[in-house]
Amino acid sequence: MHELSVCQALIGQVERIARENGARRVVSVVVAVGPLSGVEPALLEHAYPIAAAGTVAEHASLTVEVMPVEVHCRKCGARGEARPNRIVCAACGEWQVDVISGEEMLLKRVEIETDALAAS
Amino acid sequence: MCRDCGCTLGPAVARAPLASVKPPAGRVETIEVITAILDENDRVAAHNREHFDGHGVLALNLMSSPGAGKTSLLEATIRALAGRLRVAVVEGDLATENDADRIRACGVPAVQVQTGNACHLDATMVHDALHELPLAGLDVLFIENVGNLVCPASFDLGQHRNVTLLSVPEGDDKPAKYPVMFRAADLTLLTKTDLLPYLTEFSPARARAALQQVGYGGETIELTSRGGEGFAAWLAWLDREVAAQRARTAQGRTARPNVQPEGALAHASARPAR
């Protein structure tokens, strides 16, 4: 249940980006989260409005892109999906694999609304 | 009553319903960013790591469920290392000074971080605690995280290694239930093995197999804090890590725990951060 802490960190970054780009408000926020990051997408979505309340991102939508757990096998070279508690090669069952996706906890994109008058 | 999920927050704090998402009225700009959400925490953690390296201190983050025996392990370890290695402890708990008192009773400095309702330590809490410790005179700093097998795994504190405890009464399938935590370990300690004769349902072999399934490739030591072969193996691991940290410090290098937060960044399509 650390998703509020994560959301507060997220809003901190979004506020900085909004400030640096002269945003009037933030329209949308896109994050990428993998199951191995320890963050639960549904809890992130619940915590987000609480963290965003009273900030420039108060009325922004949040999109959580859930990344798959993907591994690359060191033995047979296959690339495939795995489960968080069964991180093995789908092709040959080998456990010595490199995780190539699934650890993400990233801010990917921010859509902002700028002052139309100032921009023209 | 968790601060983090907001479950005690009443209607006074508005949860913006979806309907409140406003359609844009002015000019809309899309800004592509690819940064770790916990960027600020990672920055403070890197700063902590510089402090540790600057003083040649090995920092270890101890994680486990509540009651797995972190504090007992530390008490026994401090007594065993007395006169050989200089140790201090940062204790994380929601409330009480109990654990820090137990550590101080062993004759070493301890700072208690009371996290209130927060379920994990973060880099800033550890940074603030460091100001109360004599880093210059230390060989090892143990950071005893809040007992929790979920949240602590997501926050870098600046430590060099993660040590995760799994106690016999918890069951040998814990790694399968909490894969993120056990993947993050550099060393796993199966603790309270003196209970194995009574809790015959716990199989160390099954625990090791479950660890392997979550991609854990580190060492696993079976021990009881009451002493014996496994405990000696833990002390030997500590000696090796202290020697390795001294060698790194001399060469101006550092080390990070097994799972590197930047790992995920490298996998995302690279775009310059703004």
What's the rounded Cα separation, in Å, for the pair B47 and B119?
22
User: What is the number of structural domains in chain B?
Assistant: 1
Q: Which domain holds residue B66?
A: 39-250
Mean pLDDT for B246-253 is 95
Tell me: the pLDDT tens digits for B78-94? 999 999 999 999 999 99
Its ipTM equals 0.87
Is A10's Cβ below 8 Å from some Cβ in B? Answer: yes
% of chain B with per-residue pLDDT over 90: 82
Considering only CB atoms, B267 lies closest to which of A24, A85, A100, namely: A100
B12: pLDDT strictly greater than 80: no
Cα Dmax for chain B = 71
**Does residue B266 form part of some domain?**
no
How confident is the model at residue A116, as a pLDDT? 66
Q: What is the pLDDT of residue A117?
A: 59
**Within-domain flag for B149:** yes
Give CA–CA dist A67/A36, Å, rounded: 10
- A3-68+101-115 topology per CATH: hypothetical protein PF0899 fold (3.30.2320)
CB contact under 8 A, B6 and A9: no
B183-220 pLDDT tens trace: 999 999 999 999 999 999 999 999 999 999 999 989 99
Helix (H) / strand (E) element for B102: namely: helix B98-104
Strand A79-81 versus strand A70-73 pairing type: antiparallel
- Residue from B32, B37, B121 whose CB has the most chain A CBs within 10 Å, to mutate: B37
Choice among A78-82, B115-119, B134-138 with the minimum mean pLDDT = B115-119
CATH number of the domain enclosing B132:
3.40.50.300
3-class SS letters over B218-247: CEEEECCCCCCHHHHHHHHHHHHHHHHHHH
Q: From first to last of the 120 residues of chain A, give the pLDDT tens digit.
A: 689 999 999 999 999 999 999 999 999 999 999 999 999 999 999 999 999 999 999 999 999 999 999 999 999 999 999 999 999 999 999 999 999 999 999 999 999 999 865 544
Give residue B43's pLDDT band: very low, low, confident or very high (50, 70, 90): very high
Distance CA A110, CA B20 (A): 18
